[in-house]
């Protein structure tokens, strides 16, 4: 498990250093996640592995444990909704339109990126 945590922290550290050192307008952890994905892709190209092998690895177990506790981060958002109920009553329609619009835009962009990556990777998008 320590190796999995170390991999995640090193990727985040490198991403943070790159973001700050190069003055990039992207959060360091996002760059670190990109580095982790690129590293896993390269490792899979060099030594192919099954998804189940990744889940059983230290990195997979640590990632699973972190994702299992992810719901706790939504508690402050829920408290904020209760605390600012008056603002939500006033601006609820605009917030709802923005939420639905941004969700749709995210889905469309995500699908487009998936299709583009699939085509670049040699697979045919279906």
Burial 54-68 (b: 16+ CB within 10 A, else e): eeeeebeebbeeeee
Task: Calculate mean pLDDT across residues 89-94.
Answer: 91
Task: Calculate mean pLDDT across residues 68-86.
Answer: 85
Provide, rounded to the nearest whole percent, the portion of the chain with pLDDT above 90. 37
> How high is the pLDDT of residue 17?
94
Give the three-class secondary structure for 58.
helix
Q: Does residue 58 carry a pLDDT above 90?
A: no
Mean pLDDT of the chain: 88
CB atoms < 10 A from the CB of 15, how many? 22
- Rounded Cα distance, 46 and 89, in Å: 55
Going by pLDDT thresholds of 50, 70 and 90, the confidence category of residue 84 is: confident
Task: Calculate mean pLDDT across residues 64-85.
Answer: 86
> How high is the pLDDT of residue 123?
61
CB 6 within 8 A of CB 58: no
The 10s digit of each residue's pLDDT in 103-112 is 999 999 999 9
Task: Calculate mean pLDDT across residues 44-65.
Answer: 82
């Amino acid at each position: 498990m320590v190796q999995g945590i170390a991999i995640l922290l090193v990727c985040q550290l490198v991403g943070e250093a790159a973001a700050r050192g190069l003055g990039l307008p992207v959060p360091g952890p996002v760059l670190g996640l990109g580095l982790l994905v690129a590293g896993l892709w390269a490792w899979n190209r060099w030594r192919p592995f099954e998804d189940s092998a990744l889940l059983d690895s230290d990195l997979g177990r640590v990632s699973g444990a972190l994702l299992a506790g992810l719901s706790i981060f939504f508690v402050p958002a829920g408290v904020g909704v209760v605390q600012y109920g008056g603002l939500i009553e006033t601006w609820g329609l605009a917030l709802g339109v923005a939420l639905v619009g941004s969700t749709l835009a995210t889905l469309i962009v995500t699908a487009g990126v998936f299709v583009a990556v699939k085509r670049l990777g040699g697979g045919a998008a279906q």
